[in-house]
A and B are shown apart, each in its own frame.
Chain A
Amino acid sequence: MKKTIWTLLSTLIVLAFALSACRPATPTAAPDTQVPATEAPTQPPATEAPTKPAIPEMCMGAQPGDELTVMYVWSGAEEEKLNAIFKPLVDTCGIKIVAESTRDAAVVDARVQSAPPDILFWPSTAPLDLYTDKLVPLDTVGGVAENYASYWLDLGTRDGKWLAVPVKADIKSIVWYSPAQFEAFGYTVPTTFEELDALVEKMVADGNVPWSMGLESGPATGWTGSDFIQDILLALQGPEYVSKIISGEIPYNDAGVLQAYQIYYKWASDPKYTVGGAEGTLNTSFLDAIYKPFASPAEAMMVKQSGFAGGEIVKQFPSLVYGTDFDFFPFPGAKGMQGGADFMMVFGTSNATKAMVAYLTGADGAATWAQVGFDLSPNKLAAGKYTDPQLAKKAEILANAAGFTPDIGDTIPAPFGEAEWKAIIEVLQGGDIQAALDKVAQAQAEALKK
């Protein structure tokens, strides 16, 4: 009895060994056959190399297999677009991109302090001030400055060194409207702030509601109001004024800001000017506000919203056609564009790094960026290369802009943006505008204090 158990057990063990021996046999066999296959193509170039320069010029001396470490905030569909933009360079030079995607500034900081990536893409110029000494001037790694408007270069310059270049931009100073509605009522697209004001009054006189506004956005409630007010500031005061608010030279309770708030309050709180009056503005989510001018029947004539609104309109109303059913115009009279931009900053000096910088700041990268349609490329050479008509129009607006200002709320250190949103809500709830602005000015001073 005991013996049979032992034999059974030993056969089982043998079987188990045999099985485990079989399993790895297939994977090990596969590499065996692959190794010669990979060796074969690598050998010929080794012999051909001396006869002709294998490395194309755009690679700036980078060898196939060279690694390029990059960090950025994009993921998902956005990352796919970025990879499509990188593809021509990657395919030509055979460089290997090692990417890390994070939205966390703390992660970036940890990496920069230990092993900085060759290239960092970031949605603000904040890293410029943090790592001024660690960053490599772009003109020393193949950056082509002449392809950018001077205000872009100014945004990326510290201590006289050109350290950051915008690769991607989107504009916020946009008003969406329905050309069909405008035509039906005989309205024309305004080009100055006075014309906009007159148009709004005319719409009210006709019994139409000019604006659709929606502040609601969960914990970020208020940002659409802050965008709107900044556009009014850009029209009435200009980009320099906005830059001075960002730097703290002009306090947020200045007369110019007060005037902008008064105009905004008039438009955002009266049911004749906006859907549902102040209550509507406070309770409507920013997405619902985008839909209202394009619903049937239309609830409003216009909605001021960033470039992304076009995509949202199509998602909600798939039958609407861009150009006839919905279209946009730059915020009338804005003397500079408000928008978001992603900047490229460089820590490495390898050939692969140079190849990437030269590619993105040069003609090829600009054209690919425009064709892929990853928002706009601030590179001048991207002009005319866009395949998407909406992007082409935005690019034209941006190209004609005299200046560019980032979002005030996003640029001043963090507690400020919240104070700004709070003030807008307070004002719409009937609070005193000057008192609300005084509080924001205090937050502005506190946030900018070193």
Chain B
Amino acid sequence: MLGASLANPRTQQNPDGGEYQWELPKGFPRPKIPADNPMSAAKVQLGRYLFYDQRMSVNGTQSCASCHKQELAFTDGKPRAVGATGELHPRGAMSLVNIAYSGALTWANPTETSLEHQALTPMFSDHPVELGVKGKGEAFIQILHSDPLYREMFAAAFPGESDPFTIANVTKAIACFERTIISARSPYDRYHYDREDSAVSDSAKRGEVLFFSEPLSCFRCHGGFNFSDATDYQGRRGREIQFHNTGLYNVAGPTSYPQPNTGIYEYTKQPGDVGKFKVPTLRNIALTGPYMHDGSAKTLDDVLDHYSAGGRTIASAPNEGNGFHNPNKDPLIRGFKLSTVDRADLIAFLDTLTDDTVIHNLNFSDPRKNRHP
């Protein structure tokens, strides 16, 4: 029973209605929660329904779950996301797994640190159109208001509010649901935190040694319990969240990364920030390809080719260039030798981060298809 409990991190509200209780297994700290949106079981449940509700799109074809599919660790399997009207997003949909621990939410916006605020972008952006609710927010609220189930759920989630049917409350509920999507008991976690030595293979253990070795130094950016240096949590000490240029491109022209994906330079306008992107978590990485901000690395082998070369070389236009020489490249991206066995070991290690308890957790599934619990 203990194993089952550890394998399935759950959250719930105290029976007395007090502070929300996170039931997190060993190794996982409490997430930071904004003071104006405390967690509650009612908000999480409402957020789950909204997350899967396709009526939240301009043409009733998409919901949050369209680009964040549970079976793909809440990514979409596409190089770049496609909106409700078919418009192509410049970047790939990021995984929502462990987003509660993310101090930077998007690939390249260092100012976006609020899940509640971020939810407005897919809903209302028009360049590109994602869900396409811009100008139709009131109509969407009316749809929610006319649904007896939502009338019940909004009242429970926001007790005491005379009119809880607001866009702000929609985003608060979605954010609460997203924060519960926590991956904490992959085979790696069972090996590392529960000391189940047989939970991972010998190949994966050798891969772990490589991952944490000085020549590869993967762990310097993909470190800590969430395998990312963009991690944040209650009581965290340490350095500011970093964004990195990994030498993926080195094109000619005013920016070394092809437009429009110039990294945090888009916000800072500092030339030294061109090509700097968030370090995504490696948890469930085997499920979240294609990789990089623009999905330009199809497989984990492609990713290892890039890093082992110390930057990617593209031989033909339009993105011709040798990323090894990108002027903003992080000094840690210096290349390394990897034998065939090493490569297999490293990928075996990365595979241990795939967490079946997340992709099959009914608490995170479409509640209209599966009402459990």
Q: Do A and B bind each other?
A: no
**Interfacial residues, chain B to chain A (CB-CB below 8 A):** none
